[in-house]
A and B are shown apart, each in its own frame.
Chain A
Amino acid sequence: MIVLNTMPLRSQCLALTALFICLSCAGLSGCGPTGHTTISDPSAQATGFDWAIPTRYPLPVEPLDNPMTEAKFQLGRHLFYDPRLSGNGSQSCSSCHIQALGFSDGRTLPLGSTGEVLARNAQGLMNAAYNATQTWANPSVLTLEQQALIPLFSEAPVEHGITDSNRESVLQRIRDEPRYPALFSQAFPDLGDAIEFASIRNALTSFVRGMVSFNSPFDRFEQGERNTMSASAHRGRQLFFGEALECFHCHGGYHLSDSTRDRSMTFVDKPFHNTGLFNIAGNGDYPDDNQGIFEISADPSDMGKFRAPSLRNVAVTAPYMHDGSMASLSEVIDFYAAGGRVIAEGEHAGDGRMNPFKSGFVTGFEITDGQKADLIAFLESLTDESFLSNPRFSNPWEE
């Protein structure tokens, strides 16, 4: 475990945790050596799905009423890429979640099926199954099953635009596609040939839950391979996991986010952070349509708090921040180095560095141009090229 010698304390703990889980999984699968320790873990339910990830990582949680199967994953893949799953037939999940971009969309803000601009940047989806909460800032939305209903049925803004009036015609479009009856009956054998939104939702979430991968150069280094990362990326890795920059406090652990849930956990934190992007009129405010979990809790101290996204594939998921307001990783690093963002004029004017609700880890730091290049090289080493082109996650209608 060379990893243990090179990683900072917190990461070491997580590496040890992963090792622990590894032993646990071996015991459950029954194929490990005899006489080893077995660990009672009721949440580690048997899974009939080949997650295709190294055993050192814990598996994501599967909902009790929607266990993973390959048939659901494959049906969900067809639905994910199917624009018939929208009110006007123009938009699929893949309209705003593009595989080559880590399933983000490259836009500052995404557009709904009727042209409305959404308030928040489209996020990458790889390893979303490990998020403790889904979407940018919602402690009420814990599972992909809860999340998926939001884009399908949202009215304000309209995303897929499915409503009470058009839902039957949307379902009929799906039922009329010759490939679907067999896919549905394989995915949901108990339901016969019924095609309803509950099974559509459960298949979509199975596809997204199955989008897991740990195969970036950084991951392969952590798994013991040498020469996967450049010398510059290694220097950047040490900066990233160091106390001077504090990046890892919110973007640490195997998920590169402190918002992490997996089936080894008995207690799950649901963290959100204000990073000092705004401080309108000096009272801590964020723009009116985009105030983080304050919108859910109405707790003044929750103003501007958003979930820290995983940083895997971050180099291909620009632009950045919940509002897509930063175009490049260089701009993001400058922002954190400054300890927040100053907006000199306009309706959002204010010194974000002084936001009273800002995370204690966003205090600013000194960084040279060379160090910044190293940090970017590290962030680029988090790109999982195999995932971005893996045919398992590609558009099945183009096959």
Chain B
Amino acid sequence: MLVATFLTACSGSGGDSSDNLVTRDISIPFVAEASNLTIDCDTRLTGLGTAPSDADLLDFRFYVHDMVLTDEAGTRYTTTFEQNTWQRDDLALVDLANKADSCSGDVKDTHSEVTGTVRVPAGTVLSGLEFTLGVPSALNHADRATAEAPLDRAGMHWNWQNGYKFVRVDVAPVGGMSRPTDAGYSATAWNFHLGSTDCTGDPQLGETVVCGRSNRPVVSLENFDPDLDAVLFDYEQLIGANDLSVDEAAAPGCMSGATDPECAAIFTALGMDVSTGAVDNTITQTVFRVQ
């Protein structure tokens, strides 16, 4: 908390002339479920997708940034994250996998509560939460070899796309995966990797990296009480329209491919247009909800 206090003291410019602002500590819990089972490395998930399939967890991590709380009038209050090995600037890594090495290794720390502060007028009733999934562009394309926590996790590096995996949720369906058009096909992991794609430009050459598809969903939750509620990531909502025993084409699962058949329904569930990588304002994401 010392860190958070220090940062708050430095951010006086947010502030305002009004002297009735108060600094409130926040701690936003994230939980993940699939078909009412809490997701962790030790729980076999059941009833997934259209098959339905059983599956074991391999990885469950995602970055969030630009977290904002809102009051009943819709006024937005920017949060300030505590700075630690999971949180840097306004970026946090949520990690719900409790074992290393694709859930096969040693027990490791998770990070399920995003902590920090928010400055609001005294008496404000906060009732909404908004955040963006992913890593902001300026950080997404910085040199990963020198990146500091929480951007130093090699498992979240997406080197061939010159950036980061924003979301990495991988499961191993029991019985593996087949491909209807290829009798010789075999895969063991149904992966979901979300990240910016079609990027070009190199900061090391003084260029700005520009991506054809940003792929950063915005999650906006109403009726969220930051003192009582948690953010629920419902994995079944994410993949429910897919058959996890099958990969029809392209990457096993969905790795943000705009034409990957497994990606279409996943992007819709995240409120995104899979072809442009932009938020689709005509639909609402269904993966995250208040718990």
Residues in chain A within 8 A of chain B (CB atoms): 61, 63-66, 135, 138-143, 145-146, 149-150, 153-155, 162-165, 167, 197-198, 201-202, 270, 288, 295-298, 300, 347
Q: Of the candidates A143, A162, A164, A197, which one forms a contact with B202 in the assembled complex, judged by CB atoms under 8 Å apart?
A: A143
**13 other A-B residue contacts (CB within 8 Å) besides A138-B160, A140-B162:** A63-B202, A64-B204, A64-B205, A65-B143, A66-B204, A140-B200, A153-B154, A153-B157, A164-B153, A197-B145, A202-B145, A295-B257, A347-B181
A145 adjacent to B155 (CB under 8 Å):
no
The 4 closest A-B pairs by CB, nearest first: A298-B258, A63-B204, A198-B145, A140-B162
Cβ of B74 within 8 Å of any chain A Cβ, yes or no, is no
In the complex, which residues of chain A have a beta carbon less than 8 angstroms from the beta carbon of B160?
135, 138, 140-141, 150, 154
Q: Is the CB of B159 within 8 A of A149?
A: yes
B146 contacts across to A, CB distance below 8 A: 198
Query: Is B1 an interface residue when CB atoms closer than 8 A count as contact?
Result: no
Contact with A along B186-221 (1 / 0, CB 8 A): 000000000001111110111100001100000000
- Alpha-carbon gap, A61 to B204, bound state (A): 11
**CB of A267 to closest CB in B, whole Å:** 12
On whether the beta carbons of A143 and B145 are closer than 8 Å, the reply is: no
A145 near B143 with CB under 8 A, answer yes
A264 to nearest B CB, angstroms?
A: 14
Contact partners of A198 in chain B: CB under 8 A: 143, 145-146
Residue B286 interfacial (CB < 8 Å): no
Q: Which residue of B lies closest to A261 (CB)?
A: B205
Residues of B in contact, count (CB < 8 Å)? 34
Q: Does B5 contact A (CB under 8 A)?
A: no
Given known A-B contacts A153-B157, A163-B101, A201 and B145 have beta carbons under 8 A apart: yes
Report the bound CA distance from A140 to B205 in whole Å. 13
**Interface flag for B105 (CB, 8 Å):** yes
Do A163 and B154 touch across chains, with their CB atoms under 8 A apart?
yes
Q: List 9 A-B contacts (CB under 8 A).
A: A63-B204, A135-B160, A140-B160, A163-B154, A164-B100, A164-B153, A202-B145, A297-B212, A300-B259
A149 touches B105 (CB 8 A): no
User: Secondary structure at chain A's binding surface: helix, strand, loop or mixed?
Assistant: loop
In the bound complex, how far is the Cα of B207 from the Cα of A135, in angstroms?
Answer: 20
Number of A-B contacts (CB under 8 A): 85
* Chain B residues with CB below 8 A from A64, complex form: 204-206
A149, B204: Cβ atoms closer than 8 Å: no
Say whether A143 contacts B101, CB under 8 Å.
Answer: no
A141 — nearest CB in chain B belongs to which residue? Answer: B162
Most buried by A among B159, B162, B199: B159
From B100, B199, B213, B259, contact of A165 by CB (8 A):
B100
Determine the distance from Cα of A65 to Cα of B145 in the docked complex, in whole angstroms. 13
When distances are taken between beta carbons in the complex, the residues of chain A under 8 Å from B249 are: 288
B250 in the interface (beta carbon within 8 A): yes
Closest to B182 in A: A347
- B105 near A165 (CB under 8 angstroms)? yes
A143 to B143, CA, bound (A): 12
Q: Would you call A164 and B154 a contact (CB within 8 A)?
A: yes
CA distance A295 to B202 in the complex (A): 19
Q: Which of B155, B159, B212, B258 is the one whose CB lies under 8 Å from A164?
A: B155
Residues of chain B from 131 to 187 with CB closer than 8 A to chain A in the complex: 143-146, 153-155, 157, 159-162, 181-182
Q: How far is the CB of B211 from chain A (nearest CB, A)?
A: 9
Q: Do A63 and B197 touch (CB < 8 A)?
A: no
- Residues on A with C-beta less than 8 A from B153 are 164
**Listed residue (B157, B202, B206, B212) with the most chain A CB atoms within 10 angstroms of its CB:** B202
Q: A165-B100, A201-B145, A298-B197 are in contact. Are A146 and B154 (CB under 8 A)?
A: no
| Given A154-B159, A198-B145, A297-B198, also A162-B154 (CB < 8 A) | yes
**Min CB distance, B212 to chain A, in Å?**
7
